């Protein structure tokens, strides 16, 4: 430790030895105080931190600087879309970018999480719990990086809680009438929609499907790859979200008969392609799905409250959306719900969906039993009979 000195401004200063640089030169951490007692107490705290092996040369680093370092570190380890997802999750914490790491406390992060739970400036609505957990996880990984590099001792994010008032993300299955819409409405998006609704594939799995993966004689689909459609350009990769994601999926008679109509293809052709015969990008999928919903809206929507009669989704005045919108993931959720209603056990449904373990499946679908939508004593009935009832019932 260097000798205690008094500066011209009246403050005391002392340098604490913290090691040597790469050239062998001694390095010191300087602390200041209004009194000798204050500066000695600060010096002792520095010595304690040095004894713990902390990097005191970087303790003035800002959260923004640390975030940039973490992103550089993660860039070669993650796919481009994963990296972009992390960047998006870290944006809410940008007000902390100029703050020094050693000044950040739990309440700095908690205030942001609590604020977004009430109002998300990008959506104008409360942020869902799952999204808030994503924000928290991303920021926690950044601070963990500082701890791994001995810049900080603890992670304040471990004490941040997600408000109970934050809404849960909505997840619903399609009604039997909506399922009938999918079955009876021709459109370019109908093919992937039928596969996701009747086989339970994820969107990325469906868009990576090749005809050689479909065995119509055995009524099954082999799932072993996925399309990274959010990447630019999109890419097919082998594997799945989990080890169980690589699986063989049983498909109902309705889907078998539907797929038989697509006979003009080669085994290695992809099943779901754009109108130009290319793999889907995120933007291309968004366009075709939006077109599909507009088609369903025109065909099945109730426009009785409007004076004008709408006949085309290309109406120059704009057609009001009167049906409830749904996403591709609703179709997978619908498939699982139908299996529950047919009395299939949790292990079978887990295998069909490719979940890592039964707990994941139970966590998602336990509400069906709680809401008495499905009896625990359901007898197993044929999914083919169940779907036949849906496809032949009177249209809405």
Give 231-260 pLDDT, tens digit per residue. 888 999 998 766 778 999 999 999 999 999
CA dist., res. 72 & res. 238, Å (int): 26
**According to the model, what pLDDT value does residue 372 have?**
42
In a domain, 70, yes or no: yes
In a domain, 263, yes or no: yes
The CATH number of the domain where 363 resides is what? 1.10.443.10
Confidence category of residue 50, pLDDT binned at 50, 70, 90: low
**According to the model, what pLDDT value does residue 97 have?**
96
CA dist., res. 382 & res. 388, Å (int): 10
Report which of residues 333 and 54 the model is more confident about: 333
Q: Do 317 and 358 sit in the same domain of this protein? A: yes
Dihedral (CA of 246, 247, 252, 253) sign: positive
Q: Do 314 and 367 sit in the same domain of this protein? A: yes
Question: pLDDT of 351-372, one tens digit each?
Answer: 998 887 777 676 666 655 555 4
Question: pLDDT of 125-173, one tens digit each?
Answer: 899 998 999 999 999 999 998 888 777 888 999 999 999 998 887 678 8
Place of tokens 């619908």: 334
Q: Do 185 and 296 sit in the same domain of this protein? A: yes
In a domain, 171, yes or no: no
- The phi and psi torsions of 161 (rounded to 5 degrees) equal -115, 150
Q: Do 259 and 378 sit in the same domain of this protein? A: yes
Question: pLDDT of 74-93, one tens digit each?
Answer: 999 888 888 999 999 999 99
Q: Do 191 and 89 sit in the same domain of this protein? A: no
Q: Do 377 and 261 sit in the same domain of this protein? A: yes
In a domain, 308, yes or no: yes
Q: Do 182 and 287 sit in the same domain of this protein? A: yes
Q: Do 213 and 338 sit in the same domain of this protein? A: yes
In a domain, 298, yes or no: yes
In a domain, 267, yes or no: yes
In a domain, 166, yes or no: no
Q: Do 267 and 151 sit in the same domain of this protein? A: no
Confidence category of residue 323, pLDDT binned at 50, 70, 90: very high
CA dihedral 127, 130, 136, 138 (to 10 degrees): -110
Q: How many domains does one find in the chain? A: 3
* Helix 383-392 vs helix 253-260: crossing angle, to nearest 10: 60
Domain region containing 98: 63-159
Considering the entire predicted model, what is its pTM?
0.70
pLDDT at 182 exceeding the cut of 90? yes
């Amino acid at each position: 430790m260097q000798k205690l000195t008094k500066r011209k401004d009246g403050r005391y200063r002392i340098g604490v030895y913290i090691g040597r640089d790469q050239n062998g030169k001694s390095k010191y951490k300087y602390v200041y105080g209004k009194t000798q007692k204050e500066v000695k107490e600060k010096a002792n705290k520095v010595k304690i931190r040095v004894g713990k092996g902390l990097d005191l040369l970087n303790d003035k680093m800002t959260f923004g600087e640390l975030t940039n370092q973490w992103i550089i570190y993660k860039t070669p380890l993650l796919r481009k879309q994963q990296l972009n997802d992390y960047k998006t999750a870290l944006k809410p914490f940008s007000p902390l970018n100029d703050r020094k790491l050693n000044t950040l406390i739990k309440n700095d992060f908690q205030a942001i999480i609590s604020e977004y739970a009430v109002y998300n400036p990008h959506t104008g609505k409360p942020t869902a719990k799952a999204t808030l957990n994503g924000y928290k996880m991303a920021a926690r990984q950044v601070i963990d990086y500082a701890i791994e590099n001995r810049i900080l001792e603890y992670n304040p994010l471990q004490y941040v809680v997600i408000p109970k008032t934050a809404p849960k993300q909505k997840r619903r299955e399609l009604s039997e009438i909506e399922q009938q819409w999918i079955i009876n409405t021709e459109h370019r998006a109908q093919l992937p929609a039928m596969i996701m609704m009747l086989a339970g594939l994820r969107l990325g799995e469906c868009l990576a499907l090749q005809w050689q993966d479909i065995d119509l004689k055995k009524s099954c689909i082999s799932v072993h790859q996925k399309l990274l459609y959010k990447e630019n350009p999109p890419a097919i990769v082998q594997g799945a979200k989990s080890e169980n994601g690589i699986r063989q999926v049983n498909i109902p008679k309705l889907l078998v008969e539907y797929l038989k109509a697509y006979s003009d293809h080669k085994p290695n052709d992809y099943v779901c392609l754009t109108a130009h015969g290319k793999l889907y990008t995120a933007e291309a999928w968004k366009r075709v799905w939006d077109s599909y919903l507009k088609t369903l809206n025109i065909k099945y929507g109730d426009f009785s409250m409007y004076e004008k009669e709408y006949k085309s989704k290309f109406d120059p005045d704009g057609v009001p959306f009167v049906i409830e919108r749904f996403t591709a993931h609703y179709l997978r959720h619908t498939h699982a719900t139908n299996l529950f209603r047919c009395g299939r056990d949790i292990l079978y449904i887990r295998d069909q969906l490719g979940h890592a373990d039964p707990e994941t499946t139970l966590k998602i679908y336990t509400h069906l039993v709680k809401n008495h939508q499905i009896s625990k004593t359901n007898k197993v009935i044929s999914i083919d009979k169940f779907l036949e009832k849906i496809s032949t019932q009177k249209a809405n």
